């Protein structure tokens, strides 16, 4: 069976259960946290992919990790995935679930990349401006990349607006070399 089909099936099951119980936004918060853990922790991914660790032991570890940090429904879902030996698909399931919630709630993901971290008030101002411009809720993520020197790069879905100093300098350099 195709892994993406597995991911979608589990994500849809969680989504419909969350809608039915009125817990979509709680699940979204929990699943976003788990997805972040999958994206950043090599140790957690090693646990997910390790065939030597028994299912019972993995469930015990997940209970210890998530017990007081996620809702009961989320915890039950993670344990169910583990029982069905699908824990290695957790990141994909989380990603698909988050996409379903975004589509359902009219949320657009956006990423702002700057050379230095922005203040919370500046991030909030950017988020509000984008919401006014798009007419949708914005889920804003901040990235820091010193290589852009200054300015910012804004990415909304598949569109990118590059106002970085590094790009402007590259355009000037290219223009000078072409003469």
Give the pLDDT confidence of 32-44 residue by residue, as tens digits: 999 999 999 999 9
* Eight-class DSSP state of 179: -
* Over residues 157-172, mean pLDDT: 89
Give the pLDDT confidence of 76-119 residue by residue, as tens digits: 999 999 999 999 999 999 999 999 999 999 999 999 999 999 99
Beta strand 152-156 with 159-162 is: antiparallel
* Eight-class DSSP state of 84: T
Q: How many CB atoms lie within 10 A of CB 80?
A: 14
pTM for the model stands at: 0.78
What does pLDDT average to over the chain?
93
Does residue 3 register a pLDDT over 70? no
For the chain, domains (ranges, CATH) are 3-103 (1.10.520.20), 107-177 (3.40.30)
């Amino acid at each position: 069976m195709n892994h993406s089909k597995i991911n979608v099936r589990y994500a849809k099951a969680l989504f419909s259960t969350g809608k039915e119980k009125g817990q979509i936004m709680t699940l979204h918060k929990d699943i976003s946290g788990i997805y972040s853990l999958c994206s950043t922790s090599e140790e957690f991914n090693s646990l997910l992919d390790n065939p030597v660790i028994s299912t019972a032991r993995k469930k015990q570890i997940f209970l210890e990790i998530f017990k007081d940090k996620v809702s009961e429904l989320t915890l039950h879902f993670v344990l169910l995935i583990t029982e069905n030996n699908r824990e290695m698909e957790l990141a994909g399931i989380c990603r698909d679930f988050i996409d379903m919630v975004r589509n359902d709630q009219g949320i657009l993901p956006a990423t702002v990349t700057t050379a230095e971290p922005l203040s919370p008030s500046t991030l909030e101002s950017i988020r509000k401006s984008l919401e006014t411009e798009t007419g949708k809720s914005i889920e804003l993520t901040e990235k820091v990349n010193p290589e852009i020197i200054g300015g910012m790069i804004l990415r909304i879905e598949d569109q990118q607006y590059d106002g970085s100093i590094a790009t402007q300098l590259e355009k000037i350099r290219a223009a000078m070399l072409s003469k």
